[in-house]
Amino acid sequence: MEIKLINKSGHPDPAYETERSAGMDLRAVTTDPISLEPMQRTIVKTGLFIELPIGYEAQVRPRSGLAAKSGITVLNAPGTIDADYRGEIGVILVNLSDSPFTIQHGDRIAQLVIAKHERAHWTSTESLTETERGSGGFGSTGIQ
């Protein structure tokens, strides 16, 4: 699948690092380092603009190493980029650690996954099919 890309980041186009990778790294575009204090959030620009085909979305997800090592994650994970959005891709990062974290120009800050999706069509009804689980939620299956 081909996706139109405008890359104003000064970095190479996002790419899959291995043949089996699902995501492509997104890099920070900033003129000055960004200091992210504990529990602070910010939007970090990427310099990337995309045109997705109808029926696809781009999901902005955390980088596991950044989250595990530094407590930095994507606040609205996964963030959705819709097929009709034409603005610059931004990443909402939050610092969940107890130490400040500095984001430099070019740092890998998130990953982008392209995914096909369906559109739902609602059917109004007065009842739903019964199941063993029923209305039990939030841990009701006993799986931890």
Number of domains in the chain: 1
What pLDDT sits at residue 90? 98
Give the whole-angstrom CA distance, residue 30 versus residue 11.
12
What pLDDT sits at residue 53? 97
pLDDT in tens, 71-104: 999 999 999 999 999 999 999 999 999 999 999 9
pLDDT in tens, 1-35: 899 999 999 999 999 999 999 999 999 999 999 99
Nearest to 109 by CA among 29, 6, 12: 29
Does any domain span residue 137? no
Domain of residue 48, residue span: 4-116
What pLDDT sits at residue 103? 98
Does any domain span residue 144? no
Task: Please report, rounded to a whole number, the percentage of residues in the chain having pLDDT higher than 90.
Answer: 90
| CATH code of 37's domain | 2.70.40.10
Amino acid at 135: S
